[in-house]
Structure 1
Amino acid sequence: MQVTPLVWIITIAITIAFFVYEFFAHVRKPHEPSIGESARWSAFYIGLALLFGVGIGWLVDWRYGGEYFAGYLTEKALSVDNLFVFLIVMTGFAVPKIYQQKVLMIGIVIALILRGGFIAVGAALIENLSWIFYAFGALLLFLAWRQAFGSGDHNPADGRFMRLVRRVLPVTDEYHGDRLTTRIDGRRFVTPMLLTIIAIGFVDLIFAVDSIPAIYGLTEEAYIVFTANAFALMGLRQLYFLIGGLLERLVYLAQGLAVILAFIGVKLVFHALHVNELPFINGGEHVTWVPEIPIWFSLLFIGATITIATVASLVKTRGDRGSRQAVADEAPNVPVEQRPSDR
């Protein structure tokens, strides 16, 4: 896929323009978006992403269109998981709802910048080091294991990194509007708003390590990697407010993402064997008997996994809620504080 420097410049400029518009049109004035506003803009950005994929398939090649859609689905699913961690961070720091848009916007911009850097590094590694597919594949298999079996109770707002930041920086106990720093008795302090943004940036760095090897397992085209990531991040702020209550019901999202990451990890290892040049594997020759997983199968597998994880999560939480309600109905005289928790 030939992408000229001019196309890259136009693409990056349009991406920046969208985020600048988002800030001045929606984020600059603190407010909590309505469900209607969030739904309209979420639909707009998702529709735009789908049209872009169709455009790649129609104007360039449907092979690349398929790679884009598989990458976009994967990055969108990982972005929703990212939103869940954002929710934990903002709950941990007790960010007022009217300021959450600003935190989300800054977090999303940081994520795009970090992923852009990782994309450039990944493209250079793939071009010059064929064995890097082994490393990416092994990393994704490890991340899949961590996603499936790692503890989900860790709060990034109270982790060791943030405790270190609190020791280094003088922090106020209260928010001062949406300001990042404030002056008290002639001394400069940072506000919890700045701590929240630092925590979000740290989370973004971790998720960039997850997402970039994952999409490079679906396409080697840096342009597709960048645009799939950009479109996955566009509209993420509105999606947060649209499905805020639904996030806590996606109890099987981590397992679904683990399956996707493991699948892409295996796909990367298979591809690494096909282009193998390591002398201690098959004498440095390509391994031809290992199957290459086609992009249509990857797209179908990723879409099916996301659907199954979402439906299973909603069925599970609905069943749990029904069980708790039945217990409450059978014991109407039990004090509320002694009844089973809704969490």
Structure 2
Amino acid sequence: MDVSLTLWVLTIVGLCGLIAVDFFIGRKPHDVSVKEAGIWTVVWIVLAAIFGIGLLIFGGGRPAGEFFAGYITEKSLSVDNLFVFVLIMAKFAVPSKYQQRVLLVGVLIALVLRAIFIAAGAAIIASFSWVFYIFGAFLIWTAWKLIQEARADQEDEEFEENKLLKAAERRFGVADRYHGTKLWIQQNGKRVMTPMLVVMLAIGTTDVLFALDSIPAIFGLTQDPYIVFTANAFALMGLRQLYFLIGGLLRKLVHLSYGLSIILGFIGVKLVLHALHESGVHVPEISIPVSLGVICSVLIVTTITSLRASRKQAQAEAVTGPAETPATKTDVDA
């Protein structure tokens, strides 16, 4: 898809405008209700759908199909990220009324970092087609790792600060309590970070780790940087509201990791086939309609089986009493 500099500028300005509106609405700290989260989740999904329809009208079926496939994939991977966000919120004991501000700024940091990743990935792909082999192998490995983690005992799972976050805390120091929405304060004559800034950085930088599989995954569906960026942007920008909407539902999606592993493995195979095709080997390539169908089918089946398994577990616990599970621990910590 041929995207002019003007369209890029208009798109970025439009996204910045939407972010500004989102910030204005959530500027006052408050507890986000399910109703509020539900309304804005629908708004963001509708905006993404309108953008995709715009691509269909002005760009054709292929760009639109690539956008929707990429958006759904990124959205589903983002839902898995919410599990970690719950752990981060619990780790730093973020008051409920400040959580929406933390997520807003944290997601904004993640969006900027992902834009850098996307630009770098597009440049590498344009210069070295063999990188598809690496991306494909990495996604297949990630899919296998997800299955192993899903089958492993996760009872002691908790968030661990990354090296960058620890270095920032050592360099600037951290206040002993929250000071509203302030990010910096003067303490003992020294300017130090507040826990609010620390948790924002935690969410933003942790998302970089998630980008290591989500960015190659979407490049497996489209190599158009414009579609990759916009799909990521729309998927991330509704993440804050989704956190409050399905927070209680997260523990019921017990098979989500299996579904995501299938999707990542499928895209990994697609990338390898594409790399072979680019190398002159006559192999079948997986089309966007097929990819979109597989992704949607896996997510639907995973959701149905997860809810059934959760219902059976609830019925069993009603008879024998609750058992300690990773989900139960997360709920207690949160």
- Same fold by TM-score greater than 0.5: yes
Partner of 1:336: none
Contact 1:162 1:199 in 2 (8 A): yes
Instruction: List runs of 5+ in structure 1 lacking aligned partners.
Output: 277-285, 329-338
Residues matched between the structures, number: 322
Q: How does 1:199-278 map to 2 (within 5 A)?
A: 199-276=202-279
Deviations 1:95-120 (A, max 9, x none): 00111011100111111111111111
Aligned-pair identity (%): 49
Deviations 1:153-185 (A, max 9, x none): 542345666555544442233222222232233
Read off the aligned partner of 1:287 and give its amino acid letter.
V
CA 1:205 to 1:158, structure 2 compared with 1: closer, same or farther past 3 Å? closer
Instruction: List runs of 5+ in structure 2 lacking aligned partners.
Output: 329-334
| Distance (whole Å) between structure 2 residues aligned to residue 83 and residue 326 of structure 1 | 31
Deviations 1:250-281 (A, max 9, x none): 121111111111110010000000011xxxxx
Q: How does 1:1-343 map to 2 (within 5 A)?
A: 1-26=1-26, 28-150=27-149, 152=154, 153-158=156-161, 165-276=168-279, 286-288=280-282, 290-328=283-321, 340-341=323-324, 343=328
Read off the aligned partner of 1:301 and give its amino acid letter.
V
Contact 1:180 1:194 in 2 (8 A): yes
Partner of 2:331: none
Contact 1:32 1:97 in 2 (8 A): yes
Contact 1:170 1:190 in 2 (8 A): yes
Deviations 1:47-101 (A, max 9, x none): 1111221221232211221111111110000111122211111111110011101
CA 1:163 to 1:12, structure 2 compared with 1: closer, same or farther past 3 Å? closer
User: Given the two structures, how large is their TM-score scaled by the length of structure 2?
Assistant: 0.91
* SS of residue paired to 1:189: strand
Contact 2:256 2:306 in 1 (8 A): yes
Structure of greater Rg = 1
| Distance (whole Å) between structure 2 residues aligned to residue 301 and residue 208 of structure 1 | 22
CA 1:52 to 1:159, structure 2 compared with 1: closer, same or farther past 3 Å? closer
Superposition deviation, residue 136 in structure 1: 0.9
Moved more, 45-54 or 168-177: 168-177
* SS of residue paired to 2:180: coil
Superposition deviation, residue 209 in structure 1: 1.4
User: Given the two structures, how large is their TM-score scaled by the length of structure 1?
Assistant: 0.89
Q: Larger relative CO (CA 8 A, sep 6+): 1 or 2?
A: 2
Contact 2:118 2:215 in 1 (8 A): yes
RMSD across aligned positions (CA): 1.8
